[in-house]
Amino acid sequence: MHELQRLRADHAPALLAFERENRAYFAASVPDRGDDYFTHFNTRHAALLAEQAAGTCHFHVLVSTGPDDRGEILGRFNLVDVADRSAELGYRVAEKATGRGLATATIRHLCTLATEEYGLTTLRATTTLDNPASQAVLTRTGFAPTGEEPVLDGRPGLTYVRDLSNASAAWPH
């Protein structure tokens, strides 16, 4: 079982473990966070919580909640740069949790939250061209390519957009 939770201060140890355990896996498809991220993790975590409190970002973690689970983080799902009823979606899922539909189900749920809780009408997302799994998830969750091709840490990318007027989707628990 799993639950999408709004980021809190007490998530810090599990979030740091998630990032460390999956660093090499993430670096294969998204720009690496760099050593400084890990060195100053607690400061960065506090800054994220301050941004969230200010309403400029909405950070979430997907937490395992089964009877034998220890509150392990399976993924991060963030809405950043909130302005004019729009935000940028960013997400990453632990290597051991991929291929189970968690990213697709969680993004569908996050689209509903974005509309109902945060009042957003549009989401944008960017992925590298060498990340077909992310492209598939975005397509399955109603995002469409915009034709924009940004460069992400020296790698070619593709930008997607999602109109949230049809965001109501069932969230499987």
- So where are the chain's domains? 2-166
Question: What is the pTM assigned to this prediction?
Answer: 0.88
In this structure, are strands 155-163 and 122-128 parallel, antiparallel, or unpaired?
A: antiparallel
Task: List the one residue out of 165, 167, 115, 119 whose CA is nearest residue 141.
Answer: 167
Q: Write out the two tokens for 50.
A: 């301050």
Structural fold of domain 2-166: Aminopeptidase (3.40.630)
Instruction: Encode burial over 43-82: b for 16+ CB neighbours within 10 A, e otherwise.
Output: ebbeebbebbeeeebbbbbbbbeeeeeeebbbbbbbbeeb
Q: Write out the two tokens for 4.
A: 């999408």
Question: What does DSSP assign to residue 95?
Answer: G
Tell me the pLDDT tens digit for each residue of 68-110.
777 899 999 999 999 999 999 999 999 999 989 999 999 999 9
Tell me the pLDDT tens digit for each residue of 109-133.
999 999 999 999 999 999 989 889 9
